[in-house]
């Protein structure tokens, strides 16, 4: 899965001020990624506020992204949830022909044991021949996928080919890299520790800040993958403050404020999420104003 080595971005879903999906803005966002060095697109992940979209809206979002991308970049589709049977049914009933892999988040809210997480993903993997990327994000799911569970899945399920690791724990990430099969992709889901993960042997990132600063962030990852450490860290420290800013009041509020500053989208989220406050918005704008000065 060489297409998944590098920088992917978890696409936002733009909304109009009237509340509906803004497909014109979505086209602008996708083109902005493609024109500025991103390696692949992740569709309908958490950053896309997918839990607030209707089935019809999800279908329309997928159609717009597929049309504007026009085969230029590989695409990954997010399909996950806390009901194993429902996730399996969605995978089996979805046309996955446009996508190179499925990104599936560990079940949230019901807090399964490690055996429950293992059995969930074993069922998900059996539902398709498509490659599966696990997604570990304990801050959202309330349970951490243990290294042993991930390694077990990596060895026992042929189409589980990697993980988006977003526990924010560099030691855990290094253990995943150490103990998983050589070809297994350990992909950062945490923008701030992406570079050290890559330098430790990780495969890249599925990023949020990369959506707002795609050229420099994807260049940073490329430098890291190539072993150009000095150049990579120069970009990391240039970018670092922006990462803190966009996550200060949650995701995707911060990245939407940045994309609004860039003139790509309206700064609109769906409840229960709300836009960032005026103070943070002004600090994001100030960062962007001085960024290339």
Residue for token digits 């950053």? 47
CB 165 within 8 A of CB 144: no
Catalytic residue among 62, 130, 164, 256: 164
CB 26 within 8 A of CB 48: no
Q: What is the CA radius of gyration of the chain?
A: 18
Quick check: is 16 catalytic? Answer: no
Quick check: is 40 catalytic? Answer: no
Catalytic residue among 40, 99, 118, 135: 135
Q: How far is Cα 291 from Cα 287, in angstroms, rounded to an integer?
A: 6
The pair of structure tokens assigned to 80 is 């996950």
Containing 259, the helix (H) or strand (E) segment is helix 253-261
Residue for token digits 């420099």? 216
CB 34 within 8 A of CB 11: no
Q: How far is Cα 101 from Cα 97, in angstroms, rounded to an integer?
A: 10
Catalytic residues: 135, 164
């Amino acid at each position: 899965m060489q297409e998944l080595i590098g920088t992917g971005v978890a696409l936002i879903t733009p909304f109009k001020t009237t509340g509906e999906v803004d497909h014109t803005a979505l086209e602008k966002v996708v083109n902005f990624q493609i024109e500025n060095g991103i390696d692949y697109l992740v569709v309908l992940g958490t950053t896309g506020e997918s839990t607030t979209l209707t089935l019809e809206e999800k279908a329309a979002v997928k159609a717009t992204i597929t049309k504007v991308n026009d085969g230029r970049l590989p695409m990954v589709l997010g399909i996950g949830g806390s009901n194993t049977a429902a996730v399996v049914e969605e995978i089996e009933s979805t046309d996955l022909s446009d996508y190179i892999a499925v990104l599936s988040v560990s079940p949230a809210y019901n807090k399964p044991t490690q055996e429950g997480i293992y059995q969930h993903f074993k069922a998900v993997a059996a539902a398709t021949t498509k490659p599966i990327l696990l997604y570990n994000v304990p801050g959202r799911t309330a349970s951490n996928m243990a290294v042993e569970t991930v390694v077990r899945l990596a060895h026992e399920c042929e189409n589980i080919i990697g993980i988006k690791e977003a526990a924010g724990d560099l030691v855990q990430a290094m253990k995943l890299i150490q103990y998983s099969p050589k070809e297994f992709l350990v992909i950062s889901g945490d923008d701030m520790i992406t570079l050290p993960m890559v330098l430790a042997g990780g495969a890249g990132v599925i990023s949020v800040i990369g959506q707002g600063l795609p050229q420099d962030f994807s260049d940073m990852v490329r430098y890291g993958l190539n072993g150009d450490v000095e150049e990579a860290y120069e970009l990391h420290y240039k970018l670092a403050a922006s990462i803190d800013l966009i996550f200060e009041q949650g995701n995707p509020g911060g990245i939407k404020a940045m994309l609004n500053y860039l003139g790509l989208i309206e700064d609109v989220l769906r409840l229960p999420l709300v836009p960032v406050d005026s103070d943070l918005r002004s600090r994001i704008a100030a960062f962007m104003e001085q960024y290339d000065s």
